Structure 1
Amino acid sequence: MEFRLLGAVTIVSGDRETHPASGRVRSLLACVAWQPRELVPDERLIDQIWDEEVPTDPRDALYTCAKRLRRALAEAGGAERGLVRLRGGYLLDLDPERIDVHRFRRLVREARQAGDDTAAACLYERALRLPAGTPLADVDSRWADGARTVLRREQLSARVAVAHAWLRAGRHAELVPDLVYLAEEHPLDEAITGLLMEALHRCGHQAEALDRYAGIRARLVEQLGDEPGPALRHTHQRLLQRNAGEFSRATQ
């Protein structure tokens, strides 16, 4: 049995996928799968599942949710005993590798520790190829909103990191289409623009690389009232100097 949180909350057993019908049950499953094999106290679960709409008897409501989740696990073909009741809380007794979020994070950790750029890039790509949609897409709560923000940030960080790794490995030509798309998705992200400028410059598109800098600078000034940060300014200056050096050699 496996669980997916990168998208709609899903129980996967073999070829069968089950989506718990109750929003509260989905919330409970997401909360305990977020930190498997760790006790999640009743008070935290109640807060994460119900927000301000706390029922009259919250612990009884939580017990009912847990009972329905166990039934959903059993109907999905898995072991309902995976959700364990301990003193003061619940625990999902499941190997974290069976939960997509934790597989994603493990692959990212391995990528960061990889000995060379190609190995790192391949690991990042394995993480990013995991089936994904809007994280916790069918869970509506403040806790889920915060978890979505965290996961989107981690996914974007992995997308930037894989571009860094492939760029260092000399795969700049293959990177340009993906970086263009990423820059359109995140028009104020200076790290992404810097990578795109570098890839374009290495591909011989020096003018377009400098145009990218001018574009993000104009957006930052207009929308945030601020200039690009030092890292992007340094990239811009470095490319200008490289252009000047290449022009000088060409005219000698």
Structure 2
Amino acid sequence: MPLGTPKQRSLLAALALLPGRPVPSDVLVERLWGDSPPEKFRKSLYTYVARLRRLLKSETAGAAALLRTTDSYCLIADPDSIDIHRSRSLLRAADLAVQTGQDDRAVGLYVKALRLWRGEPLAGLRGSWVDSVRAGLKHEQVAALTNYFATQLRLGRHGQVIPELSAATLEHPLDEVIAGQLMVSLYRTSRHADAIGVFHRTKEELAAQLGLDPGPGLRKLYEALLRNDSSLLLRTG
């Protein structure tokens, strides 16, 4: 849908993160403008609300609506129609499947959830609130990825997930958990040198971007690789 200006899109994002829950006008103003709202910020907010209400009415065939309650606004919509809430629902189901020993079922749920993550969260929007939400959403995505990969590795699918893990390390070069999962996958497919190479690339990225060394978990894994530690192999039975 043609969602309008960045501020109008930010308004929709602020409401869509809390479907069915009233969001006070003051909160919306802070999320749209931070500490520097325009002189006529309430008029501007009302304008964005009116435009968004008309848009939802014309484009969603009644599946979503924007209501006003006292000095608050509320997006009425099925949470499963909003990607982030649908993804979270699927991830909760996947985590429960893991806890009950249903790893195959969990993998399918993780895949469905991760397919809902397309591109940059809140793309094209700016502001301290947006930046904070975007960082949190990216953290959720990485957590879902690492849980998915961990489940695949428990199922012995180390060779199958190497392409996905390789792509994930390029997208998240500073994430030591994903790097470690790729190292284990490579080691289990007799690519010992490549596994060592992943450690050194991650170490270089951490030093260049953050001025840090790898954490104890990744260092311990690297030392185990150097020793050809049998504990790195998949245990069966």
By how many angstroms is 1:44 displaced? Answer: 0.6
By how many angstroms is 1:41 displaced? Answer: 0.7
Q: Which of the residues 58, 62, 73 maps onto 1:75?
A: 58
CA contact (8 A) 1:27 1:139 kept: yes
Larger Rg: 1
By how many angstroms is 1:23 displaced? Answer: 2.9
Alpha-carbon deviations, 1:125-144, whole Å to 9, x = none? Answer: 10111261211214333222
Match for residue 185 of structure 1?
Answer: 171
Q: Which amino acid aligns with 1:121?
A: V
Match for residue 121 of structure 1?
Answer: 107
What secondary structure sits across from 2:19 in the alignment? coil
Consecutive unaligned residues in structure 2, runs of 5 or more: 232-237
- Work out whether 1:106 is the aligned partner of 2:92: no
Q: Which of the residues 141, 144, 156 maps onto 1:155?
A: 141
The aligned length equals: 228
Q: Which amino acid aligns with 1:65?
A: Y
For residues 60 and 130 of structure 1, what CA distance do their matches in structure 2 show?
35
Q: Which of the residues 165, 188, 213 maps onto 1:227?
A: 213
Alpha-carbon deviations, 1:101-151, whole Å to 9, x = none? Answer: 111111111111113222222111101112612112143332222221111
| CA shift in 2, pair 1:27/1:213, >3 Å | closer
Q: Which of the residues 17, 20, 26 maps onto 1:37?
A: 20
Structure 2 counterparts to residues 1-252 of structure 1, below 5 A? 18-79=1-62, 82-114=65-97, 115=100, 116-130=102-116, 132-221=118-207, 224-242=210-228
Structure scoring higher RCO (CA < 8 A, sep ≥ 6) equals 1
Consecutive unaligned residues in structure 1, runs of 5 or more: 1-17, 246-252
| CA shift in 2, pair 1:227/1:69, >3 Å | closer
CA contact (8 A) 1:70 1:81 kept: no
Considering only aligned residues, what root-mean-square deviation do their CA atoms show, in Å? 2.3
**Identity, % of aligned pairs?**
38
CA contact (8 A) 2:20 2:75 kept: yes
| CA shift in 2, pair 1:221/1:79, >3 Å | closer
| CA shift in 2, pair 1:219/1:98, >3 Å | closer
